[in-house]
Amino acid sequence: MVKIRYKGHKPSFVRDDGGLSIAFHPNQTREFDENHKRTRELVKRLLTRPDTYEVISDVGTKKVGGGVTTRSKASRSKTQKKVDAALKKPKGLKKGKGKAK
């Protein structure tokens, strides 16, 4: 696999050997398989123009870590939960004690 970055300022469209049109936008990176029969010649053509296209080499590791957790809710203390439970009103209808007359 080869990563190629487009260095131009305007969108560019390139056709591969199968007739598929590939769009490159400014600073866009695309990944091609240089061993595939359709993209082999395309990669060769793109690499002949080093002023417009450049090969990107991967530096460092990819997909490491889970990211930063944001907007997390602060945990509530046990006493606060007890106070909230005592203030909460019961739901439903009130039932009277004794027989209905």
pLDDT single digits (tens) 36-78: 888 888 888 888 888 888 888 765 566 666 667 676 666 666 7
Q: How many domains does the chain fold into?
A: 1
| Residue 97 maps to a domain | no
Token pair in block for residue 46? 């793109």
Average pLDDT, the chain: 78
Instruction: Give the distance from CA 93 to its chain's centroid.
Output: 49
Specify the pLDDT at position 59.
Answer: 59
Domain that residue 43 falls in = 2-56
23 is a domain residue: yes
User: What is this structure's pTM?
Assistant: 0.51
Is 45 part of a structural domain of the chain? yes
Q: What is the per-residue pLDDT for 33? A: 82
Looking at residue 46, what is its pLDDT? 85
Residue 93 lies in a domain: no
- Is 14 contained in some domain? yes
**Assigned domain for 74 exists:** no
- Tell me if 46 is assigned to some domain: yes
In a domain, 87, yes or no: no
**How far is the C-alpha of 20 from the C-alpha of 41, rounded, in Å?**
13
pLDDT surpassing 80 at residue 8: yes
Kindly indicate the confidence band of residue 87, based on its pLDDT and cuts at 50, 70 and 90. Answer: confident
Do 1 and 31 form a contact (C-beta atoms < 8 A)?
Answer: yes
